[in-house]
Amino acid sequence: MAIPEEEVHMIIKQVLDEVVGPNAAYSHKDSVQWNQKAVEQITKKLVGAGKPYKYVVTSSFLQISSGSGLNVSTISYWNKITD
């Protein structure tokens, strides 16, 4: 049984609101830390749902303006014993 899509969206929004804030302006300096915290916390919450799945969480922070900045982060989770 899959985690409902609405629950995943809620987890992502909640984590991003906590990590970045709902109205934060892009900061290249902060985006590295935001990305790391976001993928770690999203993965932790998905694993905490107790479903027997492997997870790959990818996050991209992009500045939308003429001086575009980009930061990308990825994290994977699997069971070290059975996978």
The residue behind tokens 């982060």 is: 73
pLDDT tens-digit profile of 13-63? 999 999 998 888 888 888 889 989 999 999 999 999 888 888 888 888 777
Higher pLDDT, 51 or 79: 51
pLDDT at residue 70, rounded to an integer:
64
**The CATH classification of domain 5-77, taken from the options 3.55.40.20, 3.30.1140.40, 3.20.20.210, 3.40.50.150:** 3.30.1140.40
Q: Which residues contact 12 (CB under 8 A, 6 or more apart)?
A: 42
